[in-house]
Amino acid sequence: MKNQYELKIGLYLRSKITIFIVLLFMGLFINGCHLPRGGQAQPIDKWEVTQYFCLGDSINVSWNLQPGFDRRNCGKRCQSPSDCLAGTLCVDSVCTNRPLPPGSAVPPEGQCAPDTELTITSSEGTDLVSHTHDSSGSQSLTPSDSITFTANGGYQQPLRFYNEENKTATLVTPDTEPVQLRFPFICPIGWRSHDIGMDGPSVSEHVTIAGIQNTSGITIDLSGPNHSGQPIRLRPGEETAAFNGKLMGIWTAEIPPVFRVGLPPARCTATEIDNPYPDLSVALRLTCTAMN
């Protein structure tokens, strides 16, 4: 009898535990299906500030909060990405050109982007733009000193706030810190070039280069605008005026083969890099040319 009683108790407890586990997983599943789509603030999609300027030069503050939206794809209904244009997504049964931040409204039919609101305030205490609903635009001004801009706002319907972001326009003076251009080593192609137009820094009309120093800790060959012919070879810490002039264009740097002797050879595989060559960098001293 005792064994039968213990067996019944064991079966009863096992059935209760099984029911509890089933209910627990059902609850997690239901809650997972109803997670809020809102959430943490996201970075502002794209806004730019001229990074270095000379006294008397204008700087530009621009924003484009909805890059990539294609009106041909605007609000088109879909069941899968194959129903949308190549390279676009099917989100909540609507075609869109990029993943929308959590909590953003998917563009409905007849509209090409969620409504936006943006305010950009300067460190001088003035609003450059105030609660604008223009998803793109620009403003120009002529500061008398370095100035910082703060941008914040959100998407509407439903309202979701951006992270507050700061960007500074620096007045070029003899004390301005040199600007670093970096050339990371990428397997298997070598050192990545630096495109001023894409990677920055952005500068105003009269900002120019007054000298470039090799800060890589190893001898490099440097190529860039304002100099034609063979690359300039720079020892560690060496400076050159060969590239003095406008800051623009594409720059490249590499360790000359003769100076790679003794370095472990870089080995590239599909998943990792063994013994990568060191990343390279140069420092640009900026100055201002006289205005005409």
**Helix or strand holding residue 235 (H, E):** none
Residue 31 lies in a domain: no
Mind listing the pLDDT tens digit for each residue in 122-140? Answer: 998 888 888 877 777 899 9
Residues 93 and 64 in one domain: yes
| DSSP per-residue letters across 184-207 | -EETTTEEPPEEHHHH---B-TTE
Q: Is the pLDDT of residue 29 over 70?
A: no
Residue 20 lies in a domain: no
Select from 137, 171, 205 the last residue of a domain. 171
CATH number at residue 120: 2.60.40
Least confident of 108-122, 125-139, 142-156, 225-239: 108-122
Of residues 130 and 237, which shows the higher confidence score? 237
Q: Is the pLDDT of residue 17 over 70?
A: no
Residues 204 and 231 in one domain: yes
Place of tokens 């030069």: 57
| CA 113 to chain CA centroid, nearest Å | 21
Residues 154 and 264 in one domain: no
Q: Is the pLDDT of residue 210 over 60?
A: yes
Single-letter code of the amino acid located at 201: P
Q: What are phi and psi of 185, to 5 degrees?
A: -80, 130
CB of 52 closer than 8 Å to CB of 146: no
Domain that holds residue 264: 179-288
Q: pLDDT grade, residue 18 (50/70/90)?
A: low
Give the whole-number percent of the chain exceeding pLDDT 90: 44
Q: Global pTM?
A: 0.70
Single-letter code of the amino acid located at 216: S
Closest to 155 measured CA to CA, from 118, 128, 111:
118
| DSSP per-residue letters across 108-175 | PTT-SS--EEEEEEETTS-EEEEEE--SEEEEEE--SS-EEEEEEEEETTTTEEBPPEEEEEEEP-TT
Average pLDDT, integer, range 256-279: 85
Q: Which of 32-36, 67-71, 116-120, 211-215 is most confident?
A: 211-215
**Looking at the 3D structure of the chain, how many domains does it have?**
2
